[in-house]
Structure 1
Amino acid sequence: MDGPILALFVLSTFVGGIVSGLAGFAMGLVVSGVWLHILTPAQTAALIVGYGLLVQSYSIWKLRHALSLRTLAPFIGGGVVGVPVGAALLSHISPAMIRDGVGGLLIIYSSYFLIRPHVHTVRPSLPADIGIGFLNGILGGMTGLAGPVITVWCQLRGFRRDEQRAIFQPVILAAFAITAVSLTINGTVTTDLLRIYLYGLPALGAGLWVGLKLYGHLNELTFRKVVLVLLMVSGLVLLFG
């Protein structure tokens, strides 16, 4: 990378770190718009996963007081099965059709609840949690987005902000770990890519620190609005990205 390109990469990584620290997801949405112009799609995916493993791990550690393995298990179990199923379905179902359908639903959902602030929570159910984890895994395996479905479900369950992040961030981390193994096996991770990865680490760390500081000043309502806006952006990316 020459100077201007490297500066653009570092700046976008910093902004992505802020978003991830603030909301707990959506770093890939922020950085991919820039990275895809200066890196290959495979490199972009690998860097998002590589940075995501660090960001999610650190954020989960910061929120460890809210973690509940009993609550997490159905979502992660369903997701572990769903990710390879989603990847396998790529050869049988049009990914564009899936992206358009999910993107439209995310836009409708986020628009509705941004206008109508009160949410009627759904009743807890073990089969439903497993099913949501499975669907979230399928979407992640097909599109690379491992967060929208589980994030929507956490909101509908009425979890508070720390509880939400203590669920959807470990689920996203598990999906990233599975993807990282796949990318390493297929040869996407190279020495050049590792060098680029190291260039962005300081900016990522600084952005994550800023994002977590901002998160500490958010109340429940503001956090919910931030998540809804990012879900809307997710939907727009799926439809028009």
Structure 2
Amino acid sequence: MFDIALDPIGWGVVLGGALAAGFTTGFAGFGAALVAAGFWFFALPAAMVPPLVVVAAVAGHTVGFFSVRAAFEWRRAAPYLGGGVLGIPLGVYALTVASPSSLRLSVGIFLVAYAAWQLAGAGRATIGAWGGRAADAFIGLAGGFLGGFSGLSGPAPVIWLQLRGGPSVAQRAVYQPFNFIILTLAGIGMAAGGLIGADVALIGAAIVPTTLLGAWIGVRTYAGVSEAAFRRVVLCLLFASGVAIVIRSVAG
């Protein structure tokens, strides 16, 4: 489907993105798409990035899920999952009609906006139980759409659960399983839509071991490092990656 020939530097960028995505997923419970996209849009055709992000994210969440499985509650997660399942086909369809350039630019803008929003401290605001389970389902729908469109299933529920408040482990016990399930279904949808060809599968097979290694390291690091400090470093990286992607997209 794609005419690609990666040199050693290109492979280094691809595998570096996989390692960083896995580490972030294992440590923070989200962020594979945000981190990987910052690397992969520089080395791969834009249309290849969403399905590869899904492959890497599912691999990373397979490891990360075990760190929060004891706190997982089906009842709390159900509205997010229900909305997410409905949003996936909408996102997959949008991906089939979006141009690579607009996709790259939209991801770059999202990276900048999301990172700036968090770095500015807006994430400290709380809304409690406002909107109830219906609002949770809508956020799940948004996450499912973004997951099907670009593998970005995490930011919507992560931001929303931060606004809800409560212990971080309880928040992670909702959004990490959500990401795992939604991205698995998104990958199936992308495969059914013909977006995962032999070339994507080949690179996907190459990145999975590196992603699993990164996720394992991330999970091991999670217990011993300040989550707030590491999260700020990741947000700075996301912001810089987003700015670079936007500049490249605008420059053509």
How would you bin the TM-score normalised by the shorter chain? 0.7 to 0.9
The answer for the alignment partner of 1:128 in structure 2 is 135
Is the contact between residue 18 and residue 211 of structure 1 (CA under 8 Å) also seen in structure 2?
yes
Deviations 1:36-86 (A, max 9, x none): 333223332222111211211221122111100011001110111123344
The answer for the alignment partner of 1:113 in structure 2 is 121
Letter in 2 for 1:210: I
Is the contact between residue 87 and residue 143 of structure 2 (CA under 8 Å) also seen in structure 1?
yes
Name the TM-score, length of structure 1 as normaliser. 0.78
The answer for the alignment partner of 2:19 in structure 1 is 14
Which of 213, 229, 244 is matched with 1:206 structurally? 213
Which of 181, 189, 193 is matched with 1:186 structurally? 193
2:65 matches 1:23: no
The answer for the alignment partner of 1:63 in structure 2 is 68
Letter in 1 for 2:179: I
User: In the TM superposition, what is the alpha-carbon distance from 1:167 to its structure 2 partner?
Assistant: 1.0
Q: Where do 1:82-161 residues align within 5 Å?
A: 82-87=87-92, 106=114, 109-113=117-121, 118-123=124-129, 125-161=132-168
- Aligned residues: percent identity? 29
- Residue 85 of structure 2 aligns to a residue whose secondary structure is helix
Distance across 2 between alignment mates of 1:239 and 1:142: 18
Give me the CA root mean square deviation: 3.6
The answer for the alignment partner of 2:3 in structure 1 is none
Is the contact between residue 41 and residue 245 of structure 2 (CA under 8 Å) also seen in structure 1?
no
- Structure 1 stretches of 5 or more lacking a match? none
Aligned length: 238
User: In the TM superposition, what is the alpha-carbon distance from 1:178 to its structure 2 partner?
Assistant: 2.5
In structure 2, relative to structure 1, the CA distance for the partners of 1:212 and 1:137 (3 Å cut) is same
Letter in 1 for 2:118: S
Deviations 1:207-229 (A, max 9, x none): 11221122112456446656765
Distance across 2 between alignment mates of 1:33 and 1:159: 30
Letter in 1 for 2:139: I
Which of 4, 10, 29 is matched with 1:5 structurally? 10
Which of 180, 183, 191 is matched with 1:176 structurally? 183
- Structure 2 stretches of 5 or more lacking a match? 1-5
Is the contact between residue 34 and residue 238 of structure 2 (CA under 8 Å) also seen in structure 1?
no
